[in-house]
Every structure is written in structure tokens, then in C-alpha cells.
Amino acid sequence: MAPQGLKILVVDCVEKEALPLGGVDGWFRAALRKCSPMVEVKTVRASTPDWEKEVAWADAVMISGSPRDAFADDEWTHALMAKVARLLEKKKPVLGVCYGHQILGRVEGGKVGRCNEGWELGETKVEVTPEGLSSPLLEGLPKQMNVMQSHRDCVWEVPGKGVLLASSPHTKVQAARWAETAYGVQFHPEFTGEVIRGVWAERRDKWRDQVKFNLDEKLDQAKECPDGLAIFHNFLKMIGSR
């Protein structure tokens, strides 16, 4: 059971209004409260100049996904990377999701780019590495996890002192420990079937004929993946045991 009363700061890297089911704040808040009903969640936009002031309030930080490219060399991306680098220096527990995972990887020296296989979408299986099986983030999870994906970018390698925790034929770095207290997952533990269908509502027509799979089938059959949610539960448990 995850400890109660933890405080989680969610960094919203989407920053869009009128997203389905409450957007980033709603998705993370709902998922985290399934793991620990009394968890406190505060969401800040990634572009807010002083969001780092909220880090002292939080027991841990989560960095969300985004339609942006984590490999971009623009002012917005470099400003976020600088803030994340300072966050890692504070040794505050961090979990990056999808784009957040890629940003953490890039800050730690990893190369981020387009996946060779293009989009990965809906429910997929990823293989937990031997190091992952002994990691507290993946404690109790099966060697083959069923998780929810929505990405076409990835981290290509785990650099330096990072540790690869889960992998798949499509995307080598599905989960990693990037630093002493920083973890990332390429998939979306916060997504339910309803969320991913809402996110993709305006994308279906554009991408239907450009992907290598049946896009409508992937979206229509998608449902919440308990293995992904268990990672949030384990992350909260890790924080509570510090």
C-alpha cells in the first residue's frame, strides 16, 4: 500500500487548454489517487518561469508527456532542460513520463530522436531487464508488462551511469533510472482508454494512412493498463520510504 498524504508536483509539458478529462492535471491526479487516495497533486506549466519554487513543497516531481520534440534545439526546450538539471542536483525524486522521460535522458547525456519504427500506440508489451526486476520502481511487476503507448520519439541509448530497466523491439529504452533519484518511462501510466482516445480524436484522420498498424483498432480497444498504474504505486511507495 502506498503511503498517504504525499505531495506530488506535476510539470505540465503539454500546456494546452480544453484537453479531454481535465488534461495533464486531471490525468495524473486521477491515476495517482487510484494508487493513494490522499495524495496531494499540484500542477504547474513547464514554461512558468518560477515553477522551481514549488519543488520545496513537493515530496517528488513528475514530468509529463508532450507533443513537443525532446530533441528540439529551441529556447523553450533548453530552458526546461536547465530547470530539470537543477532539479536533479537537489536529489528530489523525479519520474518522467514519455516526453518527460526523454528530457531526463537528454539532460543525462542520452541521444533523443525519432523512433526508427515510427509511432508506437495503444497497449503493448515491454520486457523488464534483469536490473529492472530488482528495481523498486518495477517491484512485483511481471517480466513482460502490458503498458499504454503514444509516442514516435525515443531515447536511443542509456548513457553514463543510467540503468536500463525495460525494453522492447520497437523502443529500446522503455524505462530507465537516469540518476540516483530520477526515473523515466516511455509509456503512459496515467492514460486510460478514454484518455488516449480523447488525445487522438483530432489526430486519427491525419495519421490513419501513415502508420504501419490499424490505428482505429489500437485506439478503440485501448483500456487502462494495471501494470502502468502499478509503476505509479511503486514510485509513491519509494517516496514514502525515504
Residue 241, CA distances (Å) to 172, 224, 237 in order = 30, 27, 6
Return the sign of the alpha-carbon dihedral for residues 69, 72, 75, 81: positive
- Locate 76 and state its grid cell: 523553450
Question: How much is the pLDDT for 173?
Answer: 98
Cβ atoms of 13 and 46 within 8 Å: the answer is yes
Question: How much is the pLDDT for 2?
Answer: 66
Q: What is the pLDDT of residues 145-195, one digit of tens each?
A: 999 999 999 999 998 889 999 999 999 999 999 999 999 999 999 999 999
- Locate 201 and state its grid cell: 480524436
Question: How much is the pLDDT for 242?
Answer: 74
Per the prediction, the chain carries an average pLDDT of 95
Q: Is the pTM of this model over 0.85?
A: yes
* Residues marked as catalytic: 98, 188, 190
Q: Evaluate if residue 10 carries a pLDDT over 80.
A: yes
Cβ burial, residue 232 (10 Å; 0-12/13-18/19+)? buried
Residue 122: band (very low, low, confident or very high) from pLDDT cuts 50, 70, 90: very high
Question: How much is the pLDDT for 20?
Answer: 81
Q: What is the share, in percent, of the chain residues with pLDDT greater than 90?
A: 92
Residue 1: band (very low, low, confident or very high) from pLDDT cuts 50, 70, 90: low
Q: What is the share, in percent, of the chain residues with pLDDT greater than 70?
A: 98
Q: Evaluate if residue 233 carries a pLDDT over 70.
A: yes
96 closest CA partner among 240, 235, 224, 2: 235
